[in-house]
Every structure is written in C-alpha cells, then in structure tokens.
Amino acid sequence: MLFTRFADVVTLSTTRTADPLAARIERFVGLEHIEPENLHIRSWGNVADGITFTSTFKRGQVLFGKRRAYQGKVAIAEFDGVCSSDIYVFESKDPNVLLPELLPFVCQSEGFYQYAIKTSAGSLSPRTNWTHLANYEFPLPPVDEQRRIADLLWATEDSSLQHLSLYQGELQLLQATINHLTMCGVDLDGGIRNKSAKVCDNGDEQLRNHPDSWKVFRMKDLVGFMLSGLSRAITNEDIGIPVITSTNIVNGQLDTSNLKYWYVDDPQGAQTSNYILDDGDILLNFINSVAQIGKSCMFRDIGRPAIYTTNIFRIKPSDLITNEYLMWLLRSSYIQKWFIKITKPAINQASFTKQDFYRIPISIPDISEQKRITFVLSEIDETLRATSKHIAHLKNVKKIMLDSFLGTPTLG
C-alpha cells in the first residue's frame, strides 16, 4: 500500500472572524472542552460570555489539540463555532481521495500522535506545528476500503459511547445506593429499609434518624491505624517498587494501569517496611486540589510489594467496622460533605489533618448488617466493573484496528 503525505490530502483551515457574535456564532471550544480519546465534544463555552478566540470551525471539520499533543485531544465538530489558537482545524481536501469520516481516526491513530509528540517544541507547554504535521505519512487505501474501515471504527466508537453512558448511569445508581444504605441500612432478610427522602438525604439526618440499633461514634473510634505515605522521587520506569499515588484512585477503584516507581534495593528494608501496603488497606487522598480531596479506594494485592505517597493516608479499621464497609462509608455523600468542611484551602494544594478526620461523627450498624450492606453494594459494583472492562476492551479493539489500518509513525 502506498503512503500518503498528510498535507496532500488534508487542508488546515485558517478562517478567522474578528467578531464571533456579529457572525452569529454562539459557541466556543477550548482545549479543556476536548476530552482525550473522545471524538465527541460534550462541553463548550458561550461566546456571549466573552471570548478572545477568532479561529472558526464548521460542522464536520476535525479539531486537533496542537499543544501537549501527548494528551491525544481530537474531536469532530458537530456544530459551528470558534476555537482556541492551540487547536488546529482540519478537513479533507477531496472526499474522493480521503473520506471525511476517516480523517478523525487518522488524527487519532498512534502513528499521528507519536509524530506530533516527536515534532513538538517547548519545555513547559510543547506544541507541534503545521509545517511538521504536513509531512506525516500514512497508508491510504482506495475510498471504498476507507468507507469499510470508517464504518468499522465508527461502529466501535458508537458502542463505546453507549457503554460509557451506561457506565455513568450505573455509577450514579451506585452512589445513590451508597448514600441510602449508609443511612437507612438493610434488614435481616436483606431488604433495603425505606424511609422518607428527607431522612435519607445523608445530611445531618444521618446522625439523628438512623435505625435504632445503630450507634454513633467518631471516626477515631473506627480507625485502628492511620499513616501518611512516603515522599520520594518517582519515575515511570518499571524499576524498583510500585508507588500508589492519587492518580491511581479512580471512581473508588484502584487503577494500576499507570503505576509510578521508586528505585530501592531492598523493598522490605527499614526505609519502606512500615509503608508496605497490605491487601484490604484503605487508601484516602488528603492532600490535593479541593475537587480531588477525599478520593478513596481499597488496596488489593498486585503481586508485588507496593508503597504509597505522602498525600495518601493508609487506614486499617478497628474491630467496630469492616474494611469493606469503611470503604463504602468514605464514599458516602455524608462523609464527602465532611471532607469539604474540614479541608483547608491553600495556594498550591488543599488538605485536611488526621485530627480533623478523627472528629467526624458517624452512625454505623453492627458487623452483621455492615456485611449485608456490603453485599448489596458489591453486587452493583460488580456490574459497574463488568461495564468498565467492556469499555476497556472496545478501546483496545479500536487501537488494534487503528494500528492495523493506519500504520505507524514516519518522520518527514
């Protein structure tokens, strides 16, 4: 198959408008509005609110983030608008040579990303440029085959979008159930107790209107061990001991797909022995941006010793509460509201102290009911995990197809 030069089949749009409002353009798109690995623009700004952007785009054109190309920001415009100067606007020169429906996938291919990264300049905010991108070469089959490829890729994209929507719905269901059960509980037969919406809003009612058998404690009573992690220089290279950071805590789950490492000769030595994680430990992020404070998950054995960073508390529960129930409790809206109350904002990073955490009041059921609640929540969580795995599978299928159909990077 012959390789085609990018600029021979793609046009860089340079259309501008000095006054978007006068041109009746209502929406603008910045880099923050384009999500990595998502071809659909799901958020935007309103031109009427004030904007300095002048680059225009039209429905069907492809938007590519030229700044920090490693973020992989590519989207297809589904409306007319203006965009940041850090976004390139592409379109096919001739639909009979390059099918417009295939262009976003060309820009989303690993080859194109790697080429854009390698040709970027600048240390803090590297940018690629059209002069370099124009020379990117990729395999371009006949239009009939392009259509078959585009149909396959768009089918995968649409399926991913549907499953992502399903995942978001399941995530909302799980959160609502966490809030309800950590307030209302489950009876001996496993049925969810029903109370008024006012009682089950997980506000202060959590303490005043819990089931009669529940008891009120402070968090200090529920924690047997609590220790912040190590401050060490870490690297992406798989050398040394894995380090769990706040980025590994995603939607209440431990995500080990992007582990960092700290080089140490003896993982069990004196420097790290007190910080080696045990299966079932609760990890709680207490230093971060205000929006990220309070993220938590349960650590699961990853087959090798692992430690955790200084912005995370490692928690082992007391005999009053199970690991699993404490994990769900930390994700409840009631506790999340308390995290907002005790967090102290700062210029760089917000945080809360162990002492403030210890003072949080909470009502909990006995161990047997904790286990019943955990069972219900785990069933929903298992469905959520299955959907998440399917989304990851679809992403992998798409990547394989992109690599197969659109080749690898070449430097021009």
Q: What's residue 346's pLDDT?
A: 80
With cut-offs at 50, 70 and 90, classify the pLDDT of residue 203: low
CB 111 within 8 A of CB 138: yes
User: Could you tell me how many residues make up the chain?
Assistant: 412
Q: What's residue 374's pLDDT?
A: 95
CA dist 38 and 16 (Å) reads 26
With cut-offs at 50, 70 and 90, classify the pLDDT of residue 187: confident
pLDDT at 338 over 50: yes
Q: What's residue 318's pLDDT?
A: 97
Lowest-pLDDT range of 52-66, 129-143, 274-288, 341-355: 341-355
307 DSSP β-pair partners: 243
Q: What's residue 196's pLDDT?
A: 44
pLDDT tens for 261-317 read 887 766 666 677 889 999 999 999 999 888 889 999 999 999 989 999 999 999 999
Both structure tokens of 116:
């854009």
Pairing of strands 81-83, 27-29: parallel
With cut-offs at 50, 70 and 90, classify the pLDDT of residue 65: very high
In eight-state DSSP terms, residue 315 is: E
With cut-offs at 50, 70 and 90, classify the pLDDT of residue 37: confident
pTM of the predicted protein model: 0.76
pLDDT at 200 over 70: no
pLDDT at 197 over 50: no
Average pLDDT over residues 159-176: 93
Query: Which residue, chain included where needed, has tokens 């623009």?
Result: 41
Q: If 0-12 CB within 10 Å is exposed, 13-18 middle and 19+ buried, where does residue 72 land? A: buried
With cut-offs at 50, 70 and 90, classify the pLDDT of residue 348: confident
With cut-offs at 50, 70 and 90, classify the pLDDT of residue 406: confident
pLDDT tens for 78-93 read 999 999 999 999 999 9
Lowest-pLDDT range of 107-116, 194-203, 361-370: 194-203
pLDDT at 410 over 50: no
Q: What's residue 356's pLDDT?
A: 95
The secondary structure element, H or E, covering residue 312 is strand 312-317
Q: What's residue 263's pLDDT?
A: 79
Average pLDDT over residues 61-77: 94
Q: What's residue 176's pLDDT?
A: 93
CA dist 4 and 137 (Å) reads 5
All residues at 6 or more sequence positions from 346 whose CB lies less than 8 Å from its CB, including other chains: none
pLDDT at 183 over 50: yes
Q: Do domains 3-139 and 215-364 have the same CATH topology?
A: yes
CA dist 174 and 105 (Å) reads 34
pLDDT tens for 120-137 read 998 778 999 999 999 999
Long-range contacts of 190-194 (CB under 8 A, 24+ apart): 190/372, 190/375, 190/376, 192/376
Average pLDDT, the chain: 89
With cut-offs at 50, 70 and 90, classify the pLDDT of residue 198: very low
The better pLDDT of the pair 232, 109 is held by 109
pLDDT tens for 313-329 read 999 999 999 999 999 99
| Domain extents in the chain | 3-139, 215-364
With cut-offs at 50, 70 and 90, classify the pLDDT of residue 199: very low
The better pLDDT of the pair 191, 367 is held by 367
Q: Which residues of 351-382 are buried (b: 16+ CB within 10 A; e: fewer)?
A: bbeeebbeebebbbbeeebbebbbebbeebbe
Query: Could you tell me which of 112, 91, 89, 88 has the C-alpha nearest to residue 101?
Result: 91
Q: Which fold has domain 215-364?
A: Adenine-n6-DNA-methyltransferase TaqI; Chain A, domain 2 (3.90.220)
CB 163 within 8 A of CB 104: no
Q: What's residue 411's pLDDT?
A: 45
Average pLDDT over residues 198-215: 69
DSSP output for 88-109: EEEEES-TTTS-TTTHHHHHHS
**Side chain identity at residue 123, one-letter code:** S
Q: What's residue 142's pLDDT?
A: 93
What percent of the chain is predicted at pLDDT more than 90? 70
Q: What's residue 204's pLDDT?
A: 65
Average pLDDT over residues 41-70: 93
57 DSSP β-pair partners: 81
218 φ, ψ (degrees, to nearest 5): -100, 155
Both structure tokens of 353:
């102290």
pLDDT tens for 228-250 read 998 877 777 777 889 999 999 99
Domain 3-139 has what CATH class?
alpha beta
